[in-house]
Amino acid sequence: MNLETVFENTDFVHTSGTKEELQVAVYLKKQCENIGTQVKMENFRVPMCTIKKAHLFADGVEIPCKAFKGCGSGTVEGELYYMPGTDPVSITGAADKVVLLDTSNISFFTYQDLMKAGAKAILFRYGDAHYPNTDIDQRELREDVVGKERKVLCAMINVNEAVKLVKNETKRVCLEVEQNEYEGESHNVIAELPGKRKEWIVLSAHYDSTSLSHGAYDNMSGCVGLLGIMEKMRDKERNFGLRFLFCGSEECGLLGSKAYVQDHKKELEQMVLNINLDMIGSYMGQFIASVSAEEKLEHYIAYMAAEVGFPIAARSGVYSSDSTPFADKGIPAVSFARIAHTSIAPIHSRYDLKDVLSMKQLQKDINFLSNFTERLAKAAVCPVARQIPDNIKTELDEYLFRKRKK
Ligand SMILES: [Zn+2]
């Protein structure tokens, strides 16, 4: 397989629920078939929106904005309140105000706090003040952030405009939004290399991108990783079966992997391990293994790294990617990534292009990951205990908004 070709053929924005996302799914399915695996596609529902109108006025002057998908329609006018943190003092100030946050997203608990405090609308900032463009990312107000609370209008502005609002001590803002909300469809692509046992190692990587990104590093690199492992493992003897899961809609809340564990409830017992890839093959950056399983797996990976001479920082924790729904269902999971600094390979932006990736490094990463997969696929029994340690369970509760982070 020519690694570079995959990036060339998916070199466009492909966000959740769009025809471009489906185009990439179909393309990946074809690649799996070319390798000689049985492939199927499974669809799942995703929230979709068409923004018809979004206007933001600061003391009467319009500034560019993008309304959040799913935040509803209407007009809100009020006093602007720049909220520097999420501490109780900051939150109190939000009463009856249009709140400007110093972030580009919001967690469940902050949203709940803001609603209880009586916030009227929320503004977010995107970008880098030193970029030569004034891009604004298209985000969404997620159902799992709103919970049982009311929805308020939300909009993203460029970071330079956000700074100006604070600098100029802007008094009043007005936000007008009109949008159509509807249900759409996203897809998981699933390819299989069966083993002798009726048990599976599930390898996953998401293939969707964010609104401005071509998603080469985040995460066609992980998808190419899966294809590379598939190609290497095709003719190898396997005790455990390998299931390759290319997830859609990861970028709007791990929707693909959540749908997968939901729709395959009955087979979860047969899944012994999840190996997830999210961003590999960058020129710079440390290779990490984030283990959501017993600590022994972390040590196993560190020992193997030492043995084969491949630098890895293995640690335990919850990685913000498709490994999380697996770990949450009690399936030991590990995410691998080569983490390049955001000043070198910024993700979720127009700069996430093939240029930040090294095909040579990507091949080396794939070689290590294939080696790791082969050892486990050939194992007499799966050495990883089917048990999620308490500290990981706590992290999962926090990540999935069931518990407030201490
Ligand atoms: Zn990603």
Distance 205 CA to ligand 1 centre (A): 8
Distance 278 CA to ligand 1 centre (A): 5
| CA 127 to chain CA centroid, nearest Å | 18
Distance 65 CA to ligand 1 centre (A): 25
What pLDDT sits at residue 131? 92
Distance 168 CA to ligand 1 centre (A): 36
Distance 247 CA to ligand 1 centre (A): 10
Distance 171 CA to ligand 1 centre (A): 38
Strand pairing category for 97-101 and 200-206: unpaired
Helix ranges (H only) for 140-244 are 143-146, 159-167, 221-233
Spell out the per-residue pLDDT of the chain, length 406, in tens: 899 999 999 999 999 999 999 999 999 999 999 999 999 999 999 999 999 999 999 999 999 999 999 999 999 999 999 999 999 999 999 999 999 999 999 999 999 999 999 999 999 999 999 999 999 999 999 999 999 999 999 999 999 999 999 999 999 999 999 999 999 999 999 999 999 999 999 999 999 999 999 999 999 999 999 999 999 999 999 999 999 999 999 999 999 999 999 999 999 999 999 999 999 999 999 999 999 999 999 999 999 999 999 999 999 999 999 999 999 999 999 999 999 999 999 999 999 999 999 999 999 999 999 999 999 999 999 999 999 999 999 999 999 999 998 7
Dihedral, CA of residue 207, residue 275, residue 252 and residue 161, to nearest 10: -90
Tell me phi and psi for residue 72, to 5 degrees.
Answer: 95, -175
Distance 129 CA to ligand 1 centre (A): 23
Strand pairing category for 271-277 and 313-316: unpaired
User: What SS3 state is found at 388?
Assistant: coil
Structural contact between residues 183 and 70, judged by C-beta atoms closer than 8 angstroms: no
What pLDDT sits at residue 82? 98
What pLDDT sits at residue 405? 87
Distance 249 CA to ligand 1 centre (A): 10
Amino acid identity for residue 308 in this structure: V
| CA 344 to chain CA centroid, nearest Å | 19
Distance 389 CA to ligand 1 centre (A): 25
Ion ligand 1 residue ranges (Cβ < 5 Å): 218-219, 278
Distance 206 CA to ligand 1 centre (A): 7
pTM, full prediction? 0.96
What pLDDT sits at residue 27? 98
Distance 174 CA to ligand 1 centre (A): 34
Distance 346 CA to ligand 1 centre (A): 12
Residues in the chain: 406
Amino acid identity for residue 98 in this structure: V
User: What SS3 state is found at 97?
Assistant: strand
Amino acid identity for residue 59 in this structure: D
Helix ranges (H only) for 171-246 are 221-233
What pLDDT sits at residue 1? 81
Element at 363 (helix H, strand E): helix 359-378
Distance 68 CA to ligand 1 centre (A): 20
Distance 279 CA to ligand 1 centre (A): 6
What pLDDT sits at residue 368? 98
CA geometry: angle 83, 47, 254, nearest 5 deg: 75
Residues 340 and 400: their CA atoms lie apart, in Å, by: 25
What pLDDT sits at residue 406? 79
